[in-house]
Chain A
């Protein structure tokens, strides 16, 4: 059961990530460039461009958050960590997962609450008829996966969870 859940969260993280980066990032580049072009050449900027770009960005970032977490892509001060024994490493990983879980639970709860609120009050972009609630729902679903992932890590269901350092290639 736990192994199936780990596989499910991994697969969903991968799908959300790929959806965001293959669709969202090219769309961002094209949309903003087109806005600049239309502003200077045709003198007709996309009035809704900034709002839509910002929402696409939100989807890309939230969509990649799970995979980044799963791949240990977050920066950490590992000067001491790499010298720790297995017990201290487990403590560090447990602390990290508890911190992550605390965030994920609140984030998911409020995202679901916001879906209802945004739908009820018809909240959306100002310059275009684009409701906010689907984005909040997307955040909530990503939050569910994130919460599950942290919970599985805490329960020790994720193999090789301890002692994995983030990849150097992920740094700027």
Chain B
């Protein structure tokens, strides 16, 4: 069989299986195994399969995934987020839409200890939604802001999708983390700005909360210390060149255990649940990663990837036009795919094109993370919206999707800004 034809058939089969509902990892690995058997024989295929799983499983950088998952899960189970919320509420609760603003800022801060968007929504949503109801918040604004705020957790480091991207593209994970800081802060400001503006125009949508004395506010800062400590250890260590991201994840894991123990919130039950969830989530990420590597090696043998890169570059299109096309493609894919699936399925094709067009891999990592944020909010699959719908079952799903629409627009505006001013993402890493 002509290798190029085999490659095209493999890609089509992979897409068909994915749409059929076959788990993405199985679709990738199944097609890769069959394709390899046809192209190189069963012995080479067996060898490839073992080598890829061994190489990926013993990749020192990948250790950051289970350990960051552990940090996020333990922070979730030990109620560090509620302390964050209490503190931020005392400072921002008085603003129009104060509780929504507080939840957004607290979610961004929670993102500094967890790399999981779903954990952020589940934590903040369950905690803040009852209070929003008490103050008579508009359900659309309440659920929309909470769902969207959760996405900030994957932009503010540490970020599990960034580790996966870094592993896949061999881009520095440390630089990716640092690159996410400015866009993460800008998005937080954008989300809060929109909430305040909306509530200034229609105050009934989100009434302001109570005012607190300055003494209370300053005293509340003490509750920020655990988060600040963990964040400082992880990011400070990476930025200062003291740790690699993997080492930072280990030191972060030890720190979060120590902090939880000092706060007397570390129970055996918490620890056991956290460890069990860490194992299964990490295994899921590992499977999708090695499956993707097997698939991309198959594509490399069939010359599909170079043929596609050559085709696109021969069109002499403006790189930004291609970026626009990718953005449309990712918005479309994000409607149907999980974020990890989106990365692993598209990067083998998209990343070589992006590199050949001269885009910086770190900048593109931030772009990909933004696209994943959009994917978590867009129907019909918007994962954060599903989590929010579980927390607020009385709010129709359609209303939640309408509620997140302005925040999706803000994310898209952020992509335009990022394309126009790449330094937003690249300035901090350039100082490392």
B18-45 Cβ-contact flags toward A at 8 Å (1 or 0) = 1111111111011101100000001001
B283 engages A67 (CB within 8 Å): yes
B128: interface (CB < 8 Å): no
A171 engages B18 (CB within 8 Å): no
A54 engages B58 (CB within 8 Å): yes
| With A30-B254, A76-B22: A57-B383 Cβ-Cβ less than 8 Å | no
Q: Which of A84-124 contact B (CB under 8 A)?
A: 84, 88-89, 91-92, 95-96, 98-100, 102-103, 106-107, 109-111, 113-114
B305: interface (CB < 8 Å): no
A168: interface (CB < 8 Å): yes
**B39 to A: closest C-beta gap in Å:** 14
| Chain A residues within an 8 Å CB radius of B339 | 171-172
A61-93 Cβ-contact flags toward B at 8 Å (1 or 0) = 111110110010111111111001000110110
| Chain A residues within an 8 Å CB radius of B46 | 106-107, 109-110, 113
Complex Cα distance A67/B286, Å? Answer: 13
Complex Cα distance A88/B246, Å? Answer: 43
B241-284 Cβ-contact flags toward A at 8 Å (1 or 0) = 01100110111011001000000000000001001111111111
Can you name the residue of chain A whose Cβ is closest to the Cβ of B289?
A61
Complex Cα distance A171/B31, Å? Answer: 24
Complex Cα distance A16/B57, Å? Answer: 16
Q: How many residues of A contact B (CB 8 A)?
A: 67
B104: interface (CB < 8 Å): no
A95 engages B22 (CB within 8 Å): yes
**B99 to A: closest C-beta gap in Å:** 25
B143: interface (CB < 8 Å): no
Q: How many residues of B contact A (CB 8 A)?
A: 81
B30 engages A102 (CB within 8 Å): yes
A36 engages B25 (CB within 8 Å): no
A99 engages B284 (CB within 8 Å): no
Complex Cα distance A36/B69, Å? Answer: 20
A10: interface (CB < 8 Å): no
**B113 to A: closest C-beta gap in Å:** 14
| Chain B residues within an 8 Å CB radius of A95 | 17, 20, 22, 30
A32 engages B250 (CB within 8 Å): yes
Can you name the residue of chain A whose Cβ is closest to the Cβ of B386?
A168
| With A65-B287, A74-B284, A100-B30: A60-B20 Cβ-Cβ less than 8 Å | no
Can you name the residue of chain B whose Cβ is closest to the Cβ of A111?
B50
Complex Cα distance A88/B160, Å? Answer: 34
B125-152 Cβ-contact flags toward A at 8 Å (1 or 0) = 0000000000000000000000000000
Q: Which of B62-76 contact A (CB under 8 A)?
A: 62-63, 66-67, 69-70
A159: interface (CB < 8 Å): no
B117: interface (CB < 8 Å): yes
| Chain B residues within an 8 Å CB radius of A25 | 66-67, 70, 275, 278-279
Q: Contact check: which of B26, B49, B340 meets A96 at CB < 8 Å?
A: B26
B23 engages A75 (CB within 8 Å): yes
| Chain A residues within an 8 Å CB radius of B276 | 17-18, 21
B42 engages A79 (CB within 8 Å): no
**B268 to A: closest C-beta gap in Å:** 11
B287 engages A68 (CB within 8 Å): yes
Q: Which of B277-310 contact A (CB under 8 A)?
A: 277-288, 291
| Chain B residues within an 8 Å CB radius of A21 | 275-276, 278-279
Can you name the residue of chain B whose Cβ is closest to the Cβ of A75?
B338
Among A17, A77, A79, A114, the one with the most B-chain Cβ atoms within 10 Å of its Cβ is A77
B283 engages A77 (CB within 8 Å): no
Can you name the residue of chain B whose Cβ is closest to the Cβ of A54?
B58
A171 engages B19 (CB within 8 Å): no
B386 engages A54 (CB within 8 Å): no
Q: Which of A32-68 contact B (CB under 8 A)?
A: 32-33, 35-36, 40, 50, 53-55, 57-58, 60-65, 67-68
B111: interface (CB < 8 Å): no
| Chain B residues within an 8 Å CB radius of A170 | 277, 280-281, 284
A65 engages B60 (CB within 8 Å): no
**B193 to A: closest C-beta gap in Å:** 27
Complex Cα distance A88/B62, Å? Answer: 36
A-B contact pairs, 18 of them (CB 8 A): A21-B279, A29-B254, A32-B67, A54-B63, A60-B279, A62-B53, A65-B286, A67-B279, A68-B283, A68-B284, A89-B21, A96-B22, A102-B33, A106-B33, A114-B50, A139-B50, A139-B53, A172-B161
Which of A's residues lie within 8 Å of B, judged by CB? Answer: 17-18, 20-22, 25-26, 28-33, 35-36, 40, 50, 53-55, 57-58, 60-65, 67-68, 71, 73-81, 84, 88-89, 91-92, 95-96, 98-100, 102-103, 106-107, 109-111, 113-114, 136, 139, 166, 168-172
